[in-house]
Structure 1
């Protein structure tokens, strides 16, 4: 064995056997160690560690020692990872920028290398070293997004993206979402999808709108003024185009008020084939049924206690409550009529509708007029 080379477990056991044989023949330990080219200190140390072991047992012991060392190192690494993530990383590390900040914090606090810190966080080193390129119009776009979010407080980033694109901004929803989250703007939560109304034979219960003026639907929404007095809002929509045809606001609305609203809408938009509504007292009144029968449309009453069968109108009512009624305080009936009428115009001409490819139901002929205010705010 060459000097300076560390012997293996098998070589150590063979040397011990050789020295034991020589000492059994009468030689001293010093002479036997000298002939084996081993110091006496090494002999006694090896005899204490490997004494009485066979070659395969010594090999197995060395393997177990190496495995024990590897496991100790692994446990130490896992403990370090747990401690690092507990001290530096808070919450889920999903966004690359958040991971990048966490890696920098780990390196600064624990003095680890970039490779080790990236391995702990699960960040690719190329992503860690990536330098983002900020477009020249980033600040101007951010101001435009904040202005739209302030004006339309219940719009998400998708509708804001549609408004920006209609105003001439060449942006996509991913970039708007990044700025939206960076500025801490509210992202509306997703609603749980509801199952469709299907019968056992595969046919659908609901009458599907096929074209404009095919199916209209109307319903009532309750509100109140600041003094606690009640308000009733009659909502009338075209289910195919999603256009709001009428928003009649009054203290009380009976069957005659419904007939008046339907008549005004028919004079402006034409006569529909079907009118969908629930079974309220104003809807089932004899005067309303006779007038509708003479006019031409057919009334489609939904099943009692099944508002989901009038889903288009119920969805519109939810938007009306969320974006207008819950955001405003009405001090008089006139004020309520003016504010709700203004919201109706915004809904039809400005508000992007998700089911229409994020286009308003009835956009203006000149788009610049619809978005002159957002653009003016964005250019400030």
Structure 2
């Protein structure tokens, strides 16, 4: 603030001289001011003493400060209204907020940083990190092709494609590109204790069967019979049709057994297709152990239920089936991709086909003692005893 040449005491003294009879021109010449200034002093301080003049000066200063504070508060409120639709979380968002206030409101950097609650060093920081344009494009294309895959499976696919970046870098780019998968609301599950069933870690040790439903574009409903190997997680068959009876289930299982071999056990729920006379006769003829889960306990058939959830999330909810033939071809292509190319988290992000091949090779080594000794592995277990690595917890 500019310092005044005359204090209140001096101004009151000059006015006292004027009241005593001194001429205006002489006073102006004596004190080095204009006559207009003397008249302004008289209009403002005329009839006051020194204490009253000081009090008036204090009131004027306080009024000026209050006006300034009010103007600043109104400016701050207007600036905050500009940021109502912006989420000020993270350095990038705060940098955008400060730049917006400087461009729109004309605020200084210091003022904008105080409103956004950001450090000026952080606002001025410019990243020297490479833009990763090619990797971002590859990640976006892969996420668009696999819309229900999270960053872990995308990382596995990129690594298989030769990308050397680590999972933390892929996760950062995944978040920055806004590729996070929207979570669908899950149904409430009944809480309870479950005792795991030991199943031998070989293919065809146990199969699970279940149905999943969907509808065509015309509104006609159809169902899919899914058959899953609980150990290798392979989808052995997925048969879509408008109606699948117990006889049809028996016929499809017969064809599958001729192609793949006989399972040690088959698990299903208590649906009418599985409890029909045709299925009971089929199990007796083929001498297959059929295990029915407890009513209202779908997690006892958890492997097939998990597969149904993946099919629902990645295929059925993402596809529009024009007719039954279109549904059959689309489901067949997805099953081939699921078994051959899709990494499975429960298998160490191997594909079910690769895991089945590794499991078969391991079982061959365990059955051949000579090969086992040559590979410097532990000796085989005694006759009739299963080694720990040959058993898995299932169910």
Equivalent position to 1:119, from 114, 119, 136: 114
Conserved in 2, the CA contact under 8 Å of 1:271 and 1:296? no
Pairwise CA distance, 1:131: 1.6
Which sections of structure 1, spanning at least 5 residues, go unmatched? Answer: 1-39, 50-65, 367-380
When the two structures are superposed, what TM-score results if normalisation uses the length of structure 1? 0.65
Cα drift, residue 197 of structure 1: 4.2
- Equivalent position SS for 1:311: helix
Structure 2 partner of 1:144: 138
Partner of 1:204: 194
Cα deviation, residue 234, structure 1: 0.7
* Deviations 1:46-88, CA, capped at 9 Å, x for gaps: 7999xxxxxxxxxxxxxxxx9xx99999998776554322213
Separation in 2 of the partners of 1:48 and 1:135? 63
Q: Residue 212 of structure 2 aligns with which residue?
A: 221
CA distance in 1, matches of 2:218, 2:184: 34
Render the CA deviation track for 1:152-211: whole Å, top value 9, x for unaligned. 23333433222112211123455445544555546222655866742xxxx525657674
Residue 311 in structure 1 maps to residue 302 in structure 2: yes
Distance 1:156 1:312, change over 3 A: same
CA 1:331–1:92 in structure 2 vs 1: closer, same or farther (change >3 Å)?
closer
Aligned ranges for residues 48-127 of structure 1 at < 5 Å?
A: 81-127=76-122
Between the two proteins, the alignment pairs up a number of residues equal to 308
CA distance in 1, matches of 2:269, 2:136: 45
What's the offset of the Cα at 1:107?
A: 2.6
**Residue equivalent to 2:392:** none
- Residue in structure 1 matched with residue 222 of structure 2 by the alignment: 231
Tell me how far apart the structure 2 counterparts of residues 362 and 295 of structure 1 sit (CA, whole Å). Answer: 27
Distance 1:289 1:231, change over 3 A: same
Q: 1:336, 1:112 → 2: CA distance?
A: 60
SS in 2 for 1:133: coil
Using the size of structure 2 for normalisation, the TM-score is 0.62
Cα 1:316–1:47 change in 2 (3 A) is closer
Distance 2:264 2:190 in 1: 23
Aligned partners of 2:243, 2:218: CA distance in 1, in Å?
A: 16
Measured on the aligned residues, the alpha-carbon RMSD in Å equals: 4.2
Matched-pair contact (CA < 8 Å) for 2:147–2:181: no
1:273 and 1:298 in contact (8 A); partners too: yes
Q: CA deviation at 1:247?
A: 0.9
Of the three residues 97, 116, 130, the one matched with 2:125 is 130
SS at match of 1:283: coil
8 Å CA contact retained: 2:232, 2:356: no
- Asked if the contact 1:351/1:360 (under 8 Å) is kept, the reply is yes
How far, CA to CA, are the matches of 1:76 and 1:364 in structure 2?
71
Say which is worse superposed, 118-127 or 233-242, in terms of deviation: 118-127
Q: Which moved more, 1:299-308 or 1:101-110?
A: 299-308
**What is the alpha-carbon distance in structure 2 between the residues aligned to residue 174 and residue 100 of structure 1?**
24
Question: Contact conserved, 1:197 with 1:204, CA < 8 A, in 2?
Answer: no
Q: For residue 244 of structure 2, what is the aligned residue in structure 1?
A: 253
- For the pair 1:320 / 2:311, whether they are aligned, the reply is yes
Question: What's the counterpart of residue 36 of structure 1?
Answer: none
Q: How far does residue 275 in structure 1 lie from its aligned partner after superposition?
A: 2.3
Decide whether aligned partners of structure 1 residues 304 and 95 sit closer, same or farther in structure 2, where only a CA change above 3 A counts.
same
Q: 1:119 to 1:274 in 2, by over 3 A?
A: farther
What is the CA distance between 1:340 and its match in structure 2? Answer: 1.1
Question: In the alignment, does 2:337 pair up with 1:346?
Answer: yes
CA offset digits 1:315-352 (Å, max 9, x no partner): 32232233333444445544432221111011112223
Residues 1:364 and 1:357: Cα distance change in structure 2 (over 3 Å):
closer
Q: 1:251 to 1:192 in 2, by over 3 A?
A: closer
- What displacement does 1:116 show? 3.6
